[in-house]
């Protein structure tokens, strides 16, 4: 990460490769959005708006995924019920950790504070009685706030909630609903059911009715993990294999300790001194822990051989899991 661009408009770009500046905006920070640069905008248009003001950088999916994994791991220590909704959004059910609603608010403040201290990143949080309202509040609290609605406040909140604020209702559906006389969520309860289904579809209509009637109760459900990994920061930027390889072995041990079986794929990852990410992978059969040590060492050796930069962090990721059952399970 580059702290020198923190207070500047920053635009993350997906380049098509057709010409030097062809492509589109993947995302942009709040400063860039304030001057009119939005996701999906053609790059030439964004560059014209941000000329001499904005910083344009290429998308780096591996880096974002690695950073997201670190933040999610921190968040997961606060509850054993966590649902990762996207690379930058997660739900926690803290019912078991908090005896009162105010305890949950304090916990939200604590999570925000820890993420800022550990990663220098500001996050928003929404706290309420279900995922839908919490998500709406989290969006309202962006980029660095915390909003909450407890049980006693829910009815008033839902009665004044505009449909465009509800997760899953984008600008196109919102306009169609507005044209049909539906501006607020409560309006849908008095609308013609069939007319609403024609606009929304049956599932989305039922979803909105459940929220409006305060019956929405979709639980926080942990997504099934497909990959397991561990990243370790080196004591200093280095190419010294005497330092790197023992820590790589430690990363292998940690990744295997999290996995429910044996992997069919293993990757070694190097985060370079300039934060560029390089990886090498191996796929084949059921990889035992002992085999993984040698494979990961060989993959990291290939990274060092092909690249002259020093390493800042190293990592191991395993995937394509198969059950670790023994013959005892069959008798």
Query: Quick count: other Cβ atoms within 10 Å of Cβ 320?
Result: 16
Catalytic: 305? Answer: no
Q: What is the radius of gyration, based on Cα positions, of the chain?
A: 24
Give the chain's length. Answer: 331
Active-site option among 20, 66, 83, 89: 89
How wide is the angle at C-alpha 99 spanned by C-alphas 103 and 258, nearest 5°? 85
Write the secondary structure of the chain as one string of H (helix), E (strand) and C (coil): CCHHHCCCCEEEEEECCCCCCCEEEEEECHHHHHCCCCCCCEHHHHHHHCCCCCEEEECCHHHHHHHHHHHHHHHHCCCCCEEEEECCEEEECCCCCCCCHHHHHHHHHHHHHHHHHHHCCCCCEEECCCHHHHHHHHHHCCCCCEEECCHHHHHHHHHCCEHHHCCCCCHHHHHHHHHCCCCEHHHHHHCCHHHHHHHHCHHHHHHHHHHHCCCCCCCCCCCCCCEEEEEEEEEEEECCHHHHHHHHHHHHHHHHHHCCEECCEEEEEEEECCCCEEEEEEECCCCCHHHHHHHHHHHHHHHHHHCCCCEEEEEEEEECCEECCCHHHHC
d(CA 48, CA 46): 5
**Structure-token match 């609605």, residue found:** 149
Q: What are phi and psi of 95, to 5 degrees?
A: -55, -40
List, by residue number, the catalytic residues. Answer: 89
């Amino acid at each position: 990460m580059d702290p020198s661009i923190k207070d500047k408009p920053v635009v993350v770009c997906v380049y098509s490769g057709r010409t030097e500046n062809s492509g589109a905006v993947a995302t942009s920070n709040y400063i860039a959005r304030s001057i009119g640069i939005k996701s999906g905008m053609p790059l030439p248009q964004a560059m014209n708006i941000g000329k001499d003001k904005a910083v344009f950088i290429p998308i780096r999916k591996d880096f974002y995924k690695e950073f997201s994994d670190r933040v999610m791991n921190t968040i997961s220590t606060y509850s054993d019920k966590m649902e990762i909704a996207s690379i930058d959004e997660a739900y926690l059910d803290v019912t078991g950790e908090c005896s009162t609603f105010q305890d949950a608010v304090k916990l939200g403040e604590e999570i925000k504070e820890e993420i800022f201290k550990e990663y220098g990143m500001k996050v928003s949080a929404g706290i309420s009685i279900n995922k839908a309202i919490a998500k709406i509040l989290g969006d309202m609290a962006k980029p660095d706030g915390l909003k909450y609605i407890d049980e006693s406040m829910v009815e008033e909140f839902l009665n004044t909630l505009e449909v465009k604020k509800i997760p899953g209702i984008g600008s196109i559906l919102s306009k169609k609903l507005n044209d049909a006389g539906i501006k607020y969520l409560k309006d849908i309860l008095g609308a013609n059911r069939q007319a609403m289904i024609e606009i929304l579809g049956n599932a989305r209509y039922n979803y909105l009715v459940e929220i409006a009637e305060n019956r929405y109760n979709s639980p926080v459900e942990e997504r099934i993990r497909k990959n397991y990994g561990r990243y370790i920061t080196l004591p200093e930027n280095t190419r010294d294999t005497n330092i790197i390889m023992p820590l790589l072995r430690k990363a292998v041990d940690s990744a295997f300790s999290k996995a429910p079986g044996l992997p069919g794929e293993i990757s070694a990852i190097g985060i370079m001194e300039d934060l560029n990410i390089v990886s090498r992978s191996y796929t084949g059969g059921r990889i035992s822990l002992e085999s993984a040590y040698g494979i990961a060492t060989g993959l990291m050796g290939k990274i060092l051989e092909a690249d002259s930069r020093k390493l800042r962090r190293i990592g191991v990721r395993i995937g394509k899991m198969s059950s670790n059952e023994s013959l005892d399970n069959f008798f």
